[in-house]
Amino acid sequence: MAKETPKENTKEQHKAKNKEQHQKVQLTEVPKGAVAPMPKGYRPRLADAYTQKVQPALMKDFNLSSRMAAPKMVKIVINIGVSEAKENIQALDLAKEDLMLISGQNPQVRRAKKSISNFKLREGMPIGVRVTLRGPRMYEFLDRFVSLSVPRIRDFQGVDPRFFDGRGNLNIGLKEHHIFPEVNMEKSPKARGMNITFVTTAGDNVKGKALLEYLGMPFKKPEAKQAPAK
């Protein structure tokens, strides 16, 4: 019986090692279309910052006696309209995949509530995708949005405070979803607009702006009025 040479042993060991690593990767990888769960006991950076710094600062600014009275974030709602979905359903799948990468959560398909003949729209047609973030995912998205995505907005001069709705909720409209680094430009070359709503318990715009400003939202500074020339 022929003996195996050291080279053959090395090759067999290398193949066995590669096979073992491949099996480990398959076990740890998340299947396509699924979202990895948040680690147990994980707390985002902004969640701790709100409890330790933002909440006491808001109580001091607005003379609040209870921590429960301080405004806080409730949820973040992200909408992407896909008008071409009624003709090309693949566009909806692509938008859904992009939104899942951006938010870290599986989006919900939104359908038309009524038929509009001028837009060739029938009731029940898929026209967009939506995701609602709460808890740790909400704080994670807000942190990535103000730290990574906002600086990539073209000709950005700050978020306009007029985007508040009067109840302390902020609505931001984006022209391009490519500002999010999670989006693959090769798979999704077409720029899509989206609407992001930051829902708070503030109740008015002043408290809502103060809350989001403490959490890192860069608002547009008011222009200094020039003194009239004499």
pLDDT in tens, 139-195: 999 999 999 999 888 888 889 899 999 999 999 999 888 899 888 888 888 888 899
pLDDT value for 5: 52
Residue 48 lies inside a defined structural domain of this protein: no
- The span from the CA of 147 to the CA of 82, in Å, is 27
Domain that holds residue 144: 71-214
Residue 93 lies inside a defined structural domain of this protein: yes
User: What residues in the chain have per-residue pLDDT under 70?
Assistant: 1-36, 86, 118-121, 223-230
Number of separate domains in the chain: 1
Q: What is the CATH number of the domain that holds 183?
A: 3.30.1440.10
pLDDT value for 27: 32
Which element (helix H / strand E) includes 179? none
Residue 22 lies inside a defined structural domain of this protein: no
pLDDT, averaged across the chain:
81
Residue 195 lies inside a defined structural domain of this protein: yes
pLDDT value for 12: 64
Tokens 């080279």 locate to 7
pLDDT value for 1: 46
Residue 180 lies inside a defined structural domain of this protein: yes
Residue 5 lies inside a defined structural domain of this protein: no
- Reported pTM: 0.77
Residue 200 lies inside a defined structural domain of this protein: yes
- The span from the CA of 215 to the CA of 52, in Å, is 12
